[in-house]
Amino acid sequence: MTAAVEAQVCVVGGGPAGLALALELARRSVSVVVVEQSSRFDRSFRGESISPDSVWLLQRMGILDKVRDQTLETRRMEIVDRGRTVLSANFSDYDQPCPYPMELPQPPLLTALADAGSELPGFRLMRKTVATALLREAGGPVTGVRCKGPDGEFEVRATLTVGADGRFSKTREMSGLPYEKVPLERDFVWFKVPRPAVWDGHTYRIRIIDNRHGLFIPTVPDLVRVGFNIPKGGLRDMRQQGISALHARMDELAPEISQGVRESVTQWSDTSMLDIFTTVVPRWSRPGLVLIGDAAHTLTPVLGQGVNHAITDAAVLARLVADAFGEGDEPAALGRATQRFQQEREGAVTRARGLQLRQEKAFALSGRIPGLLRSTAYRLANSSSRIKRKVFANLYYPLQEAAASDPLLIAPVPVPGPSTTVHSPT
């Protein structure tokens, strides 16, 4: 076993939640070690739609400018049910500092977060390193993690361990915190195709026919990210029908991309399947440990909320944890901070999950009458600017609205200079 590494905080998982948290902590002079199992950030088909509130947070973190050329603004959204537009929204109608959702692939986002962190003295990212066990004193708090890295096993000892290791979180499993995994009735298949000339590059399109729906999201560079539903566990059946089954589905939902799909999606390995479930974790923390991002609350792909809540968790937790390290009895102060974190975040997560589940139910309606009810509901919402504004305000702009009345809610952090003293990892 190699020598132990020490830090005030150990973060398991270098996804959007873990890296944003580590950056924000290091900026507040808290020493932090991130252990990340993969060697590179070249993941594809992961959360790429960033909600306006997260765009705003990334701007305040100084990250947005570093990735601007890899982003695309989504300026409009339209839902077309059986060929008729039933709801459309123009995000320029929302008077917010950052009104537009954005497409931003994860590789540039994670690279920018890691690069910004690496400039700070208290930040350390250990790649190719898997957390394999929690360290804990008998009956006492979690005191870090045991890891396996390229040079063998070692321990990271920390006053606070953060599980940011995603939807299949091993930290959550090892912590013993109870949770409930709720599978949805349908799974999702993703792929990317060139954007057809007849589509502008800034409209998020949702197409529905009976209980089949597709998401068509323009992304960089000149592509469309496409997702469509399949029955739960139904990929094997669909694969057996050959790739022509996917082509036929696109012919039905979006003939504009039929040709592009035939040219660029020639086998099922050109696609990625997302097993859709949500996870409800009643308690996000226990002494010495807290869960954030997908580990605490896995969401569905509807309206790009996973990355949004991961980044918001990071921003809120960093503030509370840094304050707790400034108090006398650190374990007790951290316990209060992690509980407060859940109190501050849980309402927004629950609202997003509720909206996603209602949307999924609407998408899954089958038959003439249920289909008519669905399109009537969309049309009603569309005809009332008050309802539309309320739905998007709840989903896309709660932080920006709250910050307008309380500018200190998520205050930007001054970047510490080289002379700042931090508790450095060994």
Ligand X SMILES: Cc1cc2nc3c(=O)[nH]c(=O)nc-3n(C[C@H](O)[C@H](O)[C@H](O)COP(=O)(O)OP(=O)(O)OC[C@H]3O[C@@H](n4cnc5c(N)ncnc54)[C@H](O)[C@@H]3O)c2cc1C
Asked if residues 282 and 6 have their Cβ atoms less than 8 Å apart, the reply is: no
Of the candidates 175, 142, 156, the residue with the CA atom closest to the CA atom of residue 36: 156
Structure tokens at 119: 């400039």
Compute φ and ψ for 132, nearest 5 degrees: -110, -20
Site residues, ligand X (CB under 6 A) = 12-18, 35-38, 45-49, 130-131, 164-167, 170, 190, 272, 274, 293-294, 301, 304-308, 310
Q: Which of 114, 333 has the CB closer to ligand X? A: 114
Instruction: Give the DSSP letter of residue 195.
Output: P
Q: Nearer to ligand X by C-beta: 121 or 301?
A: 301
Q: Which is nearer to ligand X, 57 or 422 (CB)?
A: 57
Closer residue to ligand X (CB): 145 or 243:
145
Residue closer to ligand X (CB basis): 99 or 371: 99
Please report how close the Cβ of residue 13 comes to ligand X at its closest, in angstroms: 3
Q: Find all residues with CB under 8 Å of 421, minimum gap 6, and list them.
A: 29
Are 19 and 43 within 8 A, CB to CB? no
Provide, rounded to whole angstroms, the least separation between the CB of residue 393 and ligand X: 18
CA distances in angstroms from 62 to 57, 113, 347, 414, listed in the order given: 9, 9, 27, 10
How far apart are the C-alpha atoms of 123 and 73, rounded to whole Å? 31
Give me the phi and psi of 191, to 5 degrees please.
-160, 170
* Cβ nearer to ligand X, comparing 109 with 422: 109
Q: At its nearest, how many Å lie between ligand X and the CB of residue 104? A: 10
Least gap, CB of 233 to ligand X (angstroms): 16
Structure tokens given for 149: 């890295």
Which residues make beta-bridge pairs with 135? Answer: 144
Shortest Cβ 304–ligand X spacing (Å):
3
- Whose Cβ is closer to ligand X: residue 20's or residue 80's? 20
CB of 188 to ligand X, least distance (A): 7
CA–CA separation, 304 vs 88, rounded Å? 17
| Identity of the residue, 44 or 376, whose beta carbon is nearer to ligand X in the bound complex | 44
CA 6 – CA 30 distance, rounded (Å): 12
CA atoms of 60 and 56, how far apart (whole Å): 6
Distance from C-alpha of 153 to C-alpha of 148, rounded to nearest angstrom: 4
We find the least distance from the C-beta atom of residue 118 to ligand X, in angstroms, to be 17
Residue 14 or 117: which CB sits closer to ligand X? 14
CA distances 71 to 76, 104, 274, 418, Å, are 15, 5, 23, 31
Q: How far is the CB of 202 from ligand X (least distance, A)?
A: 16
Distance CA 172, CA 144 (A): 14
Among 57, 69, 56, 130, smallest CA distance to 98 is for 56
Q: How far is the CB of 262 from ligand X (least distance, A)?
A: 22
Residue 112, CA distances (Å) to 9, 32, 117, 292, 371 in order: 21, 17, 9, 20, 44
